[in-house]
Structure 1
Amino acid sequence: MNTENLDLARVQYEAGKSAFERGQYRQSVQCLEKALNLAGRTSKLGGEVQIWLITAYEATDQRAEAIALCEQASRHPDIDTRKQGRRLLYILKAPRLKARPEWLTEIPDLATLEDANGDRIATSRYGSTAQRTARPKPKLEPEPIDLSQVNTKDNRFIWVALVAIALTMASLFWVGS
């Protein structure tokens, strides 16, 4: 394998990981498949690409492809890839649990949300974060302190602390000599 193909494989691999992390799973599958073809299935980079491709297949509901690739990854020359391939194969072959509707929480659509002033809150392209329109924040001034309410009575703590320090110093001086 030449270095040009390896560099292209790394670029496609990073693009695939980035797309996966953004939730663009189909684009991730495309990039990772290109990276796998460029890197080769038996190389260390090829093993890393296979692990990411397995998760991307699962995210796009291509379970059969994910399991087939897991079985290949569990026979990979790299020990780390083999271990991860076996772990993922175990997870993918596990039976799916059925969730009853009362166990699920429905997430409301926040695209039409308005704040207290009636201004619309703009959501991001993916709908994951809400951003408010920029408004100047009012400056809060600290509340003045009423000094007549402050306890200024001597509680003799300072004297106890000074005596403790003096005794500690005297005992250190006596032990040191």
Structure 2
Amino acid sequence: MLLADCSATSVRAITALDAAASAQLRPAYSLERIELRRRLILSEQRKRLARCHAASSSDDDAIPGNIDMAASAFAKATAAGADADEVIAQQLGAGSVANMTSVQEKYKDKVKEKLETRAEELRKEKEARAVKFSQGKIAYERGQYDTAAKLFETALNEEGPFTQLGGEIQMWLALAYQACGRNEECIVQCKAIENSHPVPSVRRQAAEIRYILEAPKLEIKQEEKVQIPVLTDLDPNKGGRAPAPRPRVVPKRERPKTWDEEFWTNYEPPQYLKNRYVWVAAGIVLIALAWYSTGLTQ
């Protein structure tokens, strides 16, 4: 606004000076015209310096646009491999680092620090919202549908409805409403997703759920329903004569074993030696005994 006012004033002043010059008054107004031009240039320089200084301040509205959007764009660009200084130059409107003015170069590091700090804060906030979303899904899987709906509502209020995560939260919230018997709220939620969410896949899922809920219910007669037998009705003896009890078998008392029976029960035959050297030695001994006994008989 200040720049626009100065420009309008300068244009009017210059027009008046030109008219005066045509009336042979140029020498009297030449100095005033130069002074107005100088003030216009100084005003433009002050405006540019104020924008660069505001970008490095702690005010959330300082960076052109929204600081959250700028921080998110900065985080996505750097995660994709872009140079941080080049991203900052684009944020400041220079296009590249080579085109930055000395004033922009002076405040570049402060702007980058501010964006990095805010991007980290946004990442932690998103993780916290994702935790609540996970808690809601666990409650839903356990059949705690009212608790799940409250958790989904809290996560949705913090995340917002127009992000990818916000769309998933809204889908689970609609399912929780349907599980609680709140079909009308479920349909309204699905219609809101269809009409406003920017992601096509989320809109398509919401339309499918709404189609199922709004489909006419089939009327099934009682005789057309499948009767599943109860397991307690499968007892073959139910309603008949009770079977006769079986005679109880009395176990026989075992008498103690005699010494002979105990010996032969625990008897193990001798283990023959398998070492051939022992057999050779035994054979030599037997041959010697036989020869010795033969000599005695003679």
TM-score with structure 1 setting the length: 0.56
SS of equivalent residue, structure 2 residue 166? helix
Percent of matched pairs sharing the same residue: 35
CA offsets 1:133-158 (integer angstroms, 9 cap, x no match)? xxxxxxxxxxxxxxxxxxxxxxxxxx
Distance in 2, matches of 1:11 and 1:89, equals 27
Instruction: Tell me whether 1:18 sits opposite 2:128 in the alignment.
Output: no
Distance in 1, matches of 2:166 and 2:126, equals 10
SS of equivalent residue, structure 1 residue 89? helix
- Look up the match of 1:63: 183
> When you count helix as a share of all residues, which structure comes out higher?
2
99-108 or 10-19: which moved more?
Answer: 99-108
Distance in 2, matches of 1:45 and 1:38, equals 11
Instruction: Tell me whether 1:91 sits opposite 2:212 in the alignment.
Output: yes
Q: Give 1:51's match in structure 2, choosing from 171, 177, 187.
A: 171
Distance in 1, matches of 2:163 and 2:157, equals 11
Distance 1:8 1:101, change over 3 A: farther
Query: What's the CA shift for 1:101?
Result: 4.2
CA offsets 1:66-87 (integer angstroms, 9 cap, x no match)? 0011001113101110110111
Task: Report the residue type matching 1:48 in the other structure.
Answer: E
Distance in 2, matches of 1:105 and 1:11, equals 43
Note if contact 1:8-1:38 (Cα within 8 Å) is conserved in structure 2: no
Distance in 1, matches of 2:222 and 2:124, equals 52
Task: Report the residue type matching 2:149 in the other structure.
Answer: V
94-103 or 58-67: which moved more?
Answer: 94-103
Q: Which runs of 4+ in 1 moved over 6 A?
A: none
Q: Output the aligned Cα RMSD.
A: 2.4
Note if contact 1:57-1:63 (Cα within 8 Å) is conserved in structure 2: yes
Unpaired segments ≥5 residues, structure 2: 1-67, 69-121, 231-298
Distance in 1, matches of 2:176 and 2:227, equals 25
Instruction: Tell me whether 1:81 sits opposite 2:226 in the alignment.
Output: no
91-100 or 74-83: which moved more?
Answer: 91-100
Distance in 2, matches of 1:49 and 1:91, equals 19
Aligned residues: 110
58-67 or 92-101: which moved more?
Answer: 92-101
Q: Give 2:151's match in structure 1, choosing from 31, 47, 71.
A: 31
TM-score with structure 2 setting the length: 0.34
Unpaired segments ≥5 residues, structure 1: 109-177
SS of equivalent residue, structure 2 residue 217? coil
